Structures are given as structure tokens and as C-alpha cells.
Chain A
Amino acid sequence: MTTFQLEKHVNYVKSLDKKSDFDSVVMEHLRMSGAYWGLTALDLMHSLNDMDGEEIAAWILKCQHDCGGFGGNIGHDPHILYTLSAVQILALFDKLSVVDADKIAKYISGLQREDGSFAGDEWGEIDTRFTYTAVSCLSLLKRLDSINVEKATDFLVRCRNFDGGFGCTPGAESHAGQIFCCVGALAILGALHHVDRDLLGWWLCERQVKAGGLNGRPEKLPDVCYSWWVLSSLIIIDRAHWISKEKLRDFILNCQDQDRGGISDAPDDAVDVFHTFFGVGGLSLLEYPGLKSIDPAYALPVDVIDRVFYGQKS
């Protein structure tokens, strides 16, 4: 059986910050999220201490705007997605105190619309991802009371489809990534009674292809990142025992670059930090030995979540 190349993955993630090829340059606008993926992967692999938390926190603060929101990098416009990533990274380093939680909460609550939905930024695009982002971020900051939780829940429920899944807006096609966002947000809001667990579990289990990997929608190829979106959702609704975990584990392990480290979307493809994080996260959900366990709704290590909510030091 293939083994997990922990050390190589750690080295791979650490090497990313120094890259300056063209592909990295055109990714600069989402560096905040890239940092969250890489750093959380490192923490799951017990290697966060190698990183300079002070320096990273200082950079994060430079990405904050007067409105309270964060950009994906210095000089980029604020967006709710990067605001969550910033807060998540600070939570990893136990540095949430360096930001003004009320200011961030004000930015996020300002993005809630009359129907309960959230815009991603001032330009008004609506998506259930942004609801998840708002809910997760405010919960980490203990500011959920700054939004209309009831309306936010109603909007998520309106995005539910006949197949039990959820899409990005009311009536939009079910998609595993959007399902994670909706189910994760409902879990944080304590509103999982709106989910038909059997129906949704059925749709999610049908994402597992015979070879073991998970796809994100009907008729699509399996992809490592869906190990996260699908499996975390299944765990949240308590239906993960309906799939073959062994086959899924083997699929993820087969997507490793055995020589240079990193995990790709599918076997023999090029690795990237996004799939490395979701591959490691998926293995963590599968309780793979040697990894920290990860919280399926917050997508942060469980000890970080415990520290945020119960003040327990790891």
C-alpha cells in the first residue's frame, strides 16, 4: 500500500512561498487563501511551528482595508472570502487578538441582504459560499449576533434542491462544494434539522465512483478536493459510514507526488497547494495516523477550534 509522504508534503508547502514563476504570479490575487490552505495543511502535519507567525500576522494586517474587510493580497480589494482566510490564519497562530473583531463583524454584517443572503463584496454577487464565509468568520470572532441569523438560515434552506443537495443560489444545481458551504453554515448555526440527512446522504454517497474517489457532481471525474467537500458534509450529517472509506483513502494516497511532495487533483496530475490541503484534510477526516484531526465545519484543526471556543491550549 502507498504510504503518506508527510515530510515531503511539508517541504513542498514550505517551498511555495519562494516561487515566482508565471503561474504563481497570476495567483497573487488569492494569496490569502493560498496561505490558509498551506498553513492549515502544515498544522495538520504538526509543522506549523516552523513558520513565522509574527511575520505572517503583520502581512495579514497590511491586507486589511478601512472598511474592515481583507483583500487577497496587499493592494487588492476586500472580499468576504479573504476576510475568512485572514481570520482562519490568525486563529491557527492564536493571534485573533491582533484584529478588531467588531470592525470585521461590521464589514460582514454590512454584506447581508434583505433576503438573508450575503454578497461577496460591495459589488453584490450572491452565493451560498459567502453565507458560509460570513457565518464561519463571525462564529470564530464570536460575533454571530451581528447578523440576522434567522434570515441567513432561511436563505440557505431556499437553496435546497429536490435531490437534497444545495446550489450557489436558490434553484441552482447541487454541487458538493456548495453543499459543504450550506451544511457547514447550518451546522454552525445549529440548524441542521433543515437537512434531510438520508436524502442528502444518498446524493453525496453517489459521488463515490467505483475506483474510490469522489466527484463533485453527477457525471464528473473524481477529484481529491471533493474528498473534503463531500466527506466533511457526510460527517456533519452523520452519514460517512455509507461510503467506502478505505477506497477513498487509497485514492487520495495515489494522488501524491511521491518524489517531490504535494497532492494533485487526480493521479499523475501536477500538484498544487489547494489539492494538497484538501487531500491532507480528507485523510485527517479519515483519521489517518500521524495527522491532527480537523473540524469538518470550520476546516481548521480541532485543537484550534477548542482553543478559540473553550480557551484550551494544545
Chain B
Amino acid sequence: MDGPEEDNTTRGRVLLADLDLIFLNDPLIDELGFVHPSQLLSLHSDGAAATSKPPFVGRTPKSSSLTSGSSNPEDEPYAHADCSRKSEHGVDLIENLEDLPIDEGLVQNGVPYDRMAFWSGEHKLAISAVALAPLYKSAKEAFTFSSAEYKKLCQAEETASSAASQALEADMKHHGNGTVSPNQKKSALEDSLMSYSRALVLVNCDHATAWNMRKRLLPKRAADGDVLVAELRLAGVVLSCAPKSEETWAHRRWVICQMINNGVPRMKLDLILESESKLVEAVAERCPMNYRGWRHRGWLVTQMSFVQVAIELYRTKLWASLHVADNCCFHYRRTLLLQLLKSQVPGIVESRELAATAEEKELNMRVLKVALFDGSETRALWKEEVDWTKHLITRYLGREALWLHLRFLFYYWRLHIRRTVSPARAKEDPDGVQHECDSKHTFISMDSEQQFVSICLSACASNLTEDANKQREFAASYKLWVLMNGFQQQKQESRRLSAPPVDKRDSIRMLLNDMAPHRSKLWEGLLTGS
């Protein structure tokens, strides 16, 4: 009995063609959702009003009513998407729904696509969960067949001597239209492969082989930059549905590198980087602590101009203060801060392109004042970050990401910055011996930090909530951090923690075991070096 099988194949082919039609009709589609058939029905009946509802913006696609209790899936570093894709498509549901008719919704007016499989409007696309399997199967078969054909054609081209193929081409031109030339066939195959690979990555975001095929074909089409811009848009569509897809993020980076290699003007690149950064922020809003997304943002910094880095630092402050548990964003600020410090190297300003307009010049100058610190500017920048972090710590109890940020600020100030931004003191100490600065110059010292810990501990002394428990633990461990980093010799290369001095050991041990007894083995190990 291959009847139903046959039906499925035909249906898949139709769906594949419909998808082409939809993108042809609206090349600006920027969002995708997989929906329950009943959701699709309501999209068709509600029209545009439906776009503010699931599966679109303002929610994490994974928590749609389609999925069954998947809880905050982790992204896997070594092993791809296994965690994050789990139950994304709601397997049970699809099995139950397979009997539903799918080809009855075809309408003749408007764009004639299958209304039981797709909905498109407002630059958004919804695909019914029951259409995914036949669509994917057909796309895969067509992709496999066409890539094999394409490979054959390319190999034939390689083996034929270039002179011979040129002669053939000239011959074709001369004789005109009757036959299909290898070049025409090749270009038709390329068009098909672009279509099939698009369907594949829409349904299976981590189908690397499909993304790779696009990487192979795009340079042939990228003569005008719009092709690459469109490719970024497609990757955005996929990310709107699968925000953790590492293949998709990697594909974005590849596209941007292509643009840079093609000599995109600096001003345009700045705009692209800015919109990339905003994209990550929008994704982070829906999918917190998204390592692959923030990794992309961190990569952008390596391509950014110095001024843009400073602007990013300024811009992310508000977002971070509204997402105090998102360690990724605080790490991003660390990346930006360190990048600015690197830029202290003289010559960085000269190497920048001159700003075009007076307004830009003024903006640049303002940002430069913050960014291109001499000693006092660095000090001001660091102090501002420390004060702000401490403010957030006292306001939001028990947030690990905030305390970690403070650890970073203390560590870098003590070991990497303090001396370089105090040229006067460096002159006083030509042999590089470290001194505790005068308290009026020192906004972050061992004393100030131990004092801050005491304030935090007493502020929540009578608070018995879990957040307060955590606050006490983090405060106590920060004190240990200060003690173990503060007495270190300044040897950047061979950084090692050093045990706190003997006279401090008993009190900090008691504090740690009081505040975080469940980590007693860790504290003992750190304090005694065993």
C-alpha cells in the first residue's frame, strides 16, 4: 500500500512550491512560528490582529502551547542543540494530528497557497505543525537530488579544459535559444538549491549542510549587496523561531565577513553591526542567557570601531539593570570595558576614519571623552561601573551575576589597571612595588570592599528569604575573593590565588561556613589549599 505515501509526497511538493510563492510575494518576511492547526485557523480568520498574539513577538517560541513542559532548555556547547530542540515540535501532538485533512484550504483568490498549511501576513509566516514533516521530507529529497546533480555539473566543468568550455559557451551563444546550455542548467539548479535549502533551514535550523550550500552559492549571486542583506534577513527569520541555533548565528557571522571582504563602506558596516547588536538584544529579551546569541554580540565587538564600542557600553546599561540575573549581558559589558582599555594604545584615534558631519564629529568627541581615557577618565569609568553594580546589588538581593561582575571589577582594578592609570604614583615607585593608595584616591580597595560586604550582610540580617540567603552567601564569598586577590603579587602571567593571611583565616572561615554551609568543602579547600 503506497497510496498514502504517494499522497504525502505530492503534498510535500505542493507545500514546497507554496513556500516559494509566499516568499516571492513577500520577500520581507522576518518572523516565523510553528503553530497548532487551530492557531492557523484563527490567524486566517483574525487577520492582522493575530500578529500580536502567539506565535509572534513577545514570547519565547519554545513555550508555545504546542510544546509540552520543556523547562528553560540549556544550550549545549559541545554537542549542539539537543537540549534546546527537545520537544520543540510537540511530538505527541503531531502524532495525534496526522489524520487531519490538510489540502482543503486552498483558495483561488489572493496568493494561492495552502491555507491549511501556512499563514502569511504582516511580514510574518506561520507553518502548521502538521505540515512540517511532509514539507521537510520533500525539501530534503529535492535538496539531496539537486546537490548531487550540481556536484556532477561542477565536476564536469572542472575536468573539461577551460578553452573547450569557453568554445562551447560561444557556440551556444551563437546558435541561440534552442538548447539548454550547461550554464543555464547550472543556474536553474542554483535557484532550486536556494529554495530547497531555505525550506530545510526554516524547519531544521541546524541543518549545516543546507546552510553550507547557501554559503557556496551566495558569492556567485552577491554582486549586489542586497543578496547578503536578504540572507541576514532569512537567518533572522530562523532565529525568531530558534533563537539558540548555533549554525544560524555562525551563518550570520559568515555573511558579515563576506560583506567586509566585499569592501562594504565603514559607515554601512557600522549600521549593520549596530542592527546586529540590537537583534541579539531583542532575542535575549525572549530567550534569556542565550550563550550562542551573546557570543555573536561579543564577536561583533571585534569588528566595531572604537566609538561604537563606547556607545554600546552606554546603551547596554539600562538593559542590564532591567535584567540583573542575565550574566551574559554583564559579561558583554566586561568585554566592552576591556576593549576600551585596549584602545588606550596611542594611535587608535588617528587610525579612525574621520567623521563626515559636524554633528557626528561632536558625538564622536563626546564619546571619545568617555572612551579615550587618560588616567582620570579610566578611573571615572571604572568607578561609575563599580558604584552602579553596588547599587544594583543592594537593590536586588542574591543575584549571582551582579556579584560576579563586582569580582571582575575588583580583580581588574587591582591587577591590571590601578598602576597604569596613576602615572604620578608609578614615578614614585619606580621598582613597581604595590602600595595601597590613599583612601581618597581609592574607590575600590580591600578596605572599601570588606566594608561593603559588612553593609550588605547587616542590611539583610533579619531577612529569611531564599534571596537573602543567597545574598549572604555571595557577600561572604566576595569577601574571600577580595582577600585572596588583594594580597597577590602583581604578576599577570602567573596568576594564582593566594591564601588569605593567617590572622584573617579563622574569621573568614567562620563567616563562610555560617553563610554557605553547603559549600564547606570548597571553603576548606580554598583556605587550606587542599
A contact set with B: CB distance below 8 Å? 21-23, 25-27, 29-30, 33, 37, 71-72, 75-77, 79, 81, 121, 123-125, 129, 132, 162-163, 167-169, 171-173, 175-178, 180-181, 196, 198-199, 201-202, 205-206, 208, 210, 216-221, 223, 225-226, 229, 239, 241-244, 265-266, 268-270, 272-275
Contacts and interface: CB of A to CB of B under 8 A. Distances in A.
Nearest to B325: A219
A217 B208 contact: no
B399 to A, nearest CB: 8
B83 A77 contact: no
Interface centre among A30, A169, A173, A226 (most CB of B within 10 A): A173
Nearest to A164: B497
A219 B326 contact: yes
8 contacts: A26-B136, A29-B209, A72-B208, A121-B208, A124-B254, A168-B77, A173-B328, A196-B497
Closest 8 CB pairs of A and B: A177-B77, A274-B82, A173-B331, A218-B400, A26-B204, A205-B522, A125-B250, A77-B209
Contact of B78 (A171, A180, A201, A242): A180
Given A26-B89, A221-B74, A269-B70, 4 more contacts: A77-B208, A124-B257, A241-B525, A244-B518
A22 B91 contact: yes
B77 A265 contact: no
A162 B335 contact: no
A121 B495 CA distance: 34
Nearest to A133: B78
Contact of A217 (B71, B94, B289): B289
Given A29-B206, A29-B209, A171 B74 contact: no
B77 A178 contact: yes
A198 B87 contact: no
Contacts of A178: 77
A79 B211 CA distance: 13
Nearest to B339: A171
A23 B91 contact: yes
A269 B253 CA distance: 34
Given A23-B87, A172-B295, A163 B407 contact: yes
Contact of B83 (A208, A218, A244, A274): A274
A223 B80 contact: no
Interface residues of B, number: 71
B87 A217 contact: no
Interface in B26-50: none
Contact of A123 (B212, B328, B331, B522): B212
B79 to A, nearest CB: 6
A205 B512 CA distance: 14
Nearest to B204: A26
A173 B291 contact: yes
Contacts of B78: 81, 129, 132, 177, 180-181, 229
Contacts of B454: none
B133 A219 contact: no
Given A123-B212, A168-B295, A243-B521, A218 B136 contact: no
Contacts of A124: 254, 257
B135 to A, nearest CB: 11
Given A202-B526, A241-B525, A269-B69, A29 B338 contact: no
B213 to A, nearest CB: 8
**Interface SS of chain A: helix, strand, loop or mixed?**
loop
A26 B203 contact: yes
Contacts, number: 188
B206 A169 contact: no
Given A177-B78, A180-B78, A270-B87, A221 B71 contact: yes
Contact of A225 (B83, B250, B294): B83
Contact of A22 (B133, B328, B519): B133
Contacts of B477: 206
A243 B522 contact: yes
B80 to A, nearest CB: 6
Interface of B: 68-74, 76-80, 82-83, 85-89, 91, 94-95, 132-133, 136-137, 144, 203-204, 206-209, 212, 215, 250, 253-254, 257, 289, 291, 294-295, 298-299, 325-328, 331, 335, 338, 399-401, 404, 407-408, 411-412, 477, 495-497, 518-519, 521-522, 525-526, 529
Contact of A171 (B88, B289, B335): B335
A129 B67 CA distance: 30
Nearest to A209: B518
Contacts of A202: 497, 522, 526
Nearest to A179: B77
A266 B83 CA distance: 11
Contacts of A199: 495-497
Nearest to B133: A22
A29 B289 CA distance: 26
Contacts of B82: 27, 30, 272-275
A124 B250 CA distance: 9
B78 to A, nearest CB: 5
A22 B209 contact: no
A156 B529 CA distance: 25
A265 B291 contact: no
Given A25-B136, A196-B495, A201-B525, A172 B85 contact: no
B406 to A, nearest CB: 12
Contact of B404 (A77, A163, A180): A163
A10 B428 CA distance: 70
A201 B404 CA distance: 15
B520 to A, nearest CB: 9
B208 A79 contact: yes
B83 A198 contact: no
Contacts of B72: 220-221
A265 B74 contact: yes
Given A217-B327, A242-B522, A274-B83, A22 B89 contact: yes
Given A29-B204, A79-B208, A22 B522 contact: no
B327 A129 contact: no
Contacts of A229: 77-78
B499 to A, nearest CB: 9
A244 B71 CA distance: 25
B328 A223 contact: no
A260 to B, nearest CB: 14
A123 B213 CA distance: 11
A283 B250 CA distance: 34
Interface centre among A175, A176, A217, A239 (most CB of B within 10 A): A217
Contacts of B529: 198
A275 B85 CA distance: 13
A103 to B, nearest CB: 20
Contacts of A171: 298, 335, 338
Contacts of B289: 217, 219-220
A198 B526 contact: yes
A175 B327 CA distance: 11
Given A225-B83, A269-B71, A172 B298 contact: yes
Contact of B401 (A208, A218, A242): A218
Contacts of A30: 80, 82, 206
A123 B254 contact: yes
Nearest to B415: A162
A76 B328 CA distance: 33
A172 B298 CA distance: 7
